[in-house]
């Protein structure tokens, strides 16, 4: 089959790779109809993960049709249209039984961390290297989906592919952020990052009754989307004193909940420095900790932050903040989000700004990584 593979830093290629096969009785094989780029892929593209190998198939977010089922699969039949949650979780461990699939003991099993200080036995993830279970991703014609009764979800007929696709990762991550932030009716919520995850965090906050949602970014096209589709107010950090503006719009206290959904800032290469190319600012977490009101909640999404020293710990204790984080969503919210999509409460298809054949995967990633031509997500069709 054809698949989009990582080759080397900043080099992707569509290659011929072996078709996936059922390996366990709880597996299904899915024929992919759509897959999307994601912010979590960017550090991989840059070659920052030492466990990534040339030929690894990328793609965390995908949707397709079940074409083969293992003998222990109960919830799926051949022909079902399913969206597959990006987290690979067993469904039976202590964490999964409590709905905390992102912390699954078995999904990313058998991998020792490259950094022993970081605990890395959590859920697996599609399209990630060995440190996340080594599961081949969705930018391919077919994918093996382990624990299919736990992680694959039948899509209601009323929900089209371009909408349901985002129930795999971006929408459940946004929902989890609002939940970890304990967003309540009347809250003021600030979100750093207007990518798909930031926008769907903003939408989740609105659905949970937030009175005001403020989204911070520097990309005007993304900020406009957050206004139009999530009902958010927006701040361009290049031209605004973000801290002052957030205080002003929250009764002088600061937002009740601050969510950081900015991704890992790319390291400025020598070329970037010479050409003065604009890159993301690395300080969103610090900004959120300082901006949040006393007794508020700061939620940090995304992996690979690693160790961040000079962290404003004093602000956390002085202001009695709650600091929470996650680098993967849970799976339990996916059916609820699909129902909201069916009822038109949650619309996501506008995030699919670029639709391309899988063969154009490298070009799609270039657009996405550069945020060029208004690209929020490139969506591939095999
Ligand atoms: N925890 C989870 O469950 C989970 C799941 C999926 C994605 N994520 C994470 O969510 C994050 C966002 O994902 P995405 O796909 O939307 O990424 P994306 O790369 O498409 O968007 C990130 C946005 O953040 C903006 N940004 C960067 N630095 C900023 C700053 N200092 N202040 C304000 N805005 C800034 C960028 O301009 C960009 O628009 C990533 O870190 C990803 O790893 C987490
Ligand atoms: Zn588990």
**Residue 377 beta carbon below 6 angstroms from any ligand 1 atom:** no
Instruction: Give the distance (Å) from ligand 2 centre to CA of residue 292.
Output: 33
Q: What percent of the chain has pLDDT over 90?
A: 77
- 99-137 pLDDT per residue, tens: 999 999 888 864 444 445 555 567 889 998 776 778 999
Instruction: Give the distance (Å) from ligand 2 centre to CA of residue 145.
Output: 15
**Residue 41 beta carbon below 6 angstroms from any ligand 1 atom:** no
Instruction: Give the distance (Å) from ligand 2 centre to CA of residue 94.
Output: 7
Query: In this predicted structure, what is the pLDDT of residue 313?
Result: 87
**Residue 367 beta carbon below 6 angstroms from any ligand 1 atom:** no
3-state class (DSSP) for residue 223: helix
Nearest atom (ligand 1) to Cα of 264:
41
Helices (H), 185-282: 196-207, 220-230, 242-248, 270-275
Query: In this predicted structure, what is the pLDDT of residue 270?
Result: 52
- 189-214 pLDDT per residue, tens: 999 999 999 999 999 999 999 999 99
Query: In this predicted structure, what is the pLDDT of residue 115?
Result: 47
Range with top average pLDDT, 244-248, 304-308, 368-372: 244-248
CATH superfamily, with its number, for domain 2-169+329-381: Medium-chain alcohol dehydrogenases, catalytic domain (3.90.180.10)
Common-topology check for domains 2-169+329-381 and 170-326: no
Domain ranges of the chain: 2-169+329-381, 170-326
CA-to-CA distance for 253 and 292, rounded, in angstroms? 8
**Closest C-alpha to ligand 1, atom 20:** 195
Nearest atom (ligand 1) to Cα of 196:
16
Average pLDDT, the chain: 90
**Residue 125 beta carbon below 6 angstroms from any ligand 1 atom:** no
Ligand at minimal distance from the CA of 123 is 2
**Closest C-alpha to ligand 1, atom 5:** 328
**Closest C-alpha to ligand 1, atom 28:** 280
Using DSSP, how many helices (H) and how many strands (E) does the chain show? 13, 17
Among candidate residues 103, 115, 28, 20, the one with its CA nearest the CA of residue 64: 28
**Residue 88 beta carbon below 6 angstroms from any ligand 1 atom:** no
Instruction: Give the distance (Å) from ligand 1 centre to CA of residue 192.
Output: 8
**Over 90: is that where the pLDDT of 169 sits?**
yes
CA-to-CA distance for 131 and 136, rounded, in angstroms? 12
Task: Report if pTM > 0.85.
Answer: yes
CATH of domain 170-326: 3.40.50.720
**Residue 348 beta carbon below 6 angstroms from any ligand 1 atom:** no
Query: In this predicted structure, what is the pLDDT of residue 114?
Result: 43
- 308-319 pLDDT per residue, tens: 667 788 999 999
Question: Which of 72-86, 95-109, 300-314 is the least confident region?
Answer: 300-314
Tokens of 346: 């949650």
The C-alpha angle with vertex 129 and arms to 362 and 45, in degrees rounded to 5, equals 30
Instruction: Give the distance (Å) from ligand 2 centre to CA of residue 331.
Output: 11
**Over 60: is that where the pLDDT of 74 sits?**
yes
Instruction: Give the distance (Å) from ligand 1 centre to CA of residue 120.
Output: 21
**Residue 127 beta carbon below 6 angstroms from any ligand 1 atom:** no
Query: In this predicted structure, what is the pLDDT of residue 368?
Result: 95
Ligand at minimal distance from the CA of 226 is 1
Beta-strand ranges (E) seen in 112-211 are 124-125, 142-145, 152-154, 188-192
Ligand at minimal distance from the CA of 300 is 1
Q: What percent of the chain has pLDDT over 70?
A: 89
CA-to-CA distance for 138 and 90, rounded, in angstroms? 19
State whether the Cα torsion 37-41-42-46 is positive or negative: negative
Number of neighbours of residue 112 by Cβ within 10 angstroms? 10
Instruction: Give the distance (Å) from ligand 2 centre to CA of residue 92.
Output: 5
**Residue 58 beta carbon below 6 angstroms from any ligand 1 atom:** no
Instruction: Give the distance (Å) from ligand 2 centre to CA of residue 101.
Output: 6
Instruction: Give the distance (Å) from ligand 1 centre to CA of residue 39.
Output: 6
Query: In this predicted structure, what is the pLDDT of residue 40?
Result: 87
Classify burial at 356, counting beta carbons within 10 Å of its beta carbon; exposed 0-12, middle 13-18, buried 19 or more: middle
């Amino acid at each position: 089959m054809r698949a989009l593979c990582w080759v080397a830093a900043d080099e992707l290629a569509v290659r011929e790779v072996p078709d996936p096969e059922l390996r366990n009785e709880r597996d299904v094989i899915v024929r992919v109809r759509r897959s999307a780029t994601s912010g979590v892929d960017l550090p991989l593209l840059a070659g920052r993960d030492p466990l990534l190998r040339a030929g690894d198939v990328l793609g965390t977010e995908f949707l397709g049709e079940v074409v083969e089922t293992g003998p222990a699969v109960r919830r799926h039949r051949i022909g079902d249209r399913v969206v597959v949650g990006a987290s690979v979780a067993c469904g039976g461990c202590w964490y999964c039984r409590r709905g905390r699939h992102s912390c699954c003991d078995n999904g990313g099993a058998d991998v020792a961390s490259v950094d022993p200080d970081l605990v890395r036995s959590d859920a697996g993830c599609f399209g990630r290297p060995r440190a996340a279970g080594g599961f081949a991703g969705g930018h391919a014609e077919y994918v093996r989906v382990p624990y299919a009764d736990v992680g694959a979800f039948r899509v209601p007929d009323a929900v089209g592919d371009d909408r349901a696709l985002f129930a795999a990762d971006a929408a459940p991550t946004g929902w989890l952020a609002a939940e970890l932030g304990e967003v309540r009716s009347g809250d003021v919520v600030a979100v750093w990052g207007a990518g798909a995850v930031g926008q769907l965090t903003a939408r989740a906050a609105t659905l949970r009754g937030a009175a005001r949602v403020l989204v911070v970014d520097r990309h005007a096209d993304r900020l406009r989307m957050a206004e139009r589709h999530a009902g958010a107010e927006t701040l361009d950090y290049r031209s605004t004193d973000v801290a002052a503006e957030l205080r002003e719009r929250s009764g002088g206290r600061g937002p009740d909940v601050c969510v950081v959904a900015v991704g890992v800032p790319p390291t400025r290469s020598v070329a970037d420095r010479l050409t003065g190319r604009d890159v993301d600012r690395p300080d969103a977490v610090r900004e959120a900790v300082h901006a949040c009101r006393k007794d508020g909640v700061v939620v940090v999404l995304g992996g690979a932050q690693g160790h961040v020293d000079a962290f404003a710990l004093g602000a956390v204790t002085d202001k009695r903040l709650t600091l929470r984080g996650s680098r993967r969503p849970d799976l339990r919210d996916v059916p609820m989000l699909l129902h909201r999509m069916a009822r038109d409460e949650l619309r996501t298809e506008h995030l699919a700004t670029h639709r391309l054949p899988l063969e154009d995967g490298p070009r799609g990633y270039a657009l996405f990584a550069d945020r060029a031509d208004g690209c929020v997500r490139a969506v591939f069709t095999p």
